[in-house]
Amino acid sequence: TFTVTTAGSADVEYMIVAGGGGGGEWAGGGGGAGGYRVATDLSVVAQEYTITVGAGGAGSGAGYPASSTPTSGADSSIAGSGLTTITSTGGGFGGGQAPVFDGDDGGSGGGANNHYGSAAGSGNTPSTDPSQGNDGGLGRNAVPYLGAGGGGAGAVGQTVTSEMSTAGTAGAGGVGVSNDILVTGSGVYYAGGGGGGEVLGTGGAGGNGGGGAGGTNVIGEDGDDGFGGGGGAAGATTTSSNTQKGGGDGGNGIVVIRYKFQ
């Protein structure tokens, strides 16, 4: 919580990125990116602001069945005197294979696992205008077993196509959105989705904007803190041994308020 006192008027802009969702396991889905919201004017210059920065969700535990299921990211928000609280929704966790569960809804949705009939998480939930993010992708239940990418602020998570299945590459996380609110002209991206995991293939790339890569016979990568990236899903060494690795954690979010004094 902080207070700002000015002698004149000021324009205020903000960026709010929630925590990214954790990645699934055993060719699971990548975690969805934290919800992304930005505006060039808060309309009301509050006397006091209260900032909440959402933490990233936990990735799934190792093992088959998994020792724990992943969790979604936490919300980030700005509240203040005279303001309606502005909230970005945490990213949805990626789907898993053992036990089978779907990707979760969130600012961006978690990707589906490799199991037939598994659903991806929906982005932008609860619905807001403008949009906070995108849906996760869909996976494939055949050798090589491949999970889908989690949604990003700039694009849906990648669905595993027949061509990708032949090459044995899991779905990439959806890309984030470029924003220069911290460093002008830097081209920094925020809120990228996590990559899908694999069995006997290659993990999906993390989305530009802090998304963790999916595991290739290893644990999924964590999303980057301060970017709200989704965690990468885990890979596995075989379909029968108990050597499945855990999913990556989602990255913590970020909240920025910038004043332009007159």
CA distances from 130 to 44, 56, 85, 106 (A): 19, 23, 15, 15
The model's pLDDT over 56-89, given as tens digits with 9 standing for 90+, comes to 999 998 877 888 899 999 999 998 877 888 899 9
* Distance, CA of 138 to CA of 250 (rounded, Å): 19
pLDDT at 116: 74
User: Which amino acid is located at 177 in the chain?
Assistant: V
Two tokens, residue 131: 């949009």
Q: Are 58 and 249 in contact (CB under 8 A)?
A: yes
- Tracing tokens 């998570």 back to the chain, one arrives at 157
This prediction has a pTM of: 0.92
Question: Which helix H or strand E contains 167, and what residues bound it?
Answer: helix 162-167
The model's pLDDT over 178-237, given as tens digits with 9 standing for 90+, comes to 998 887 777 899 999 999 998 878 899 999 999 999 987 678 999 999 999 999 998 876
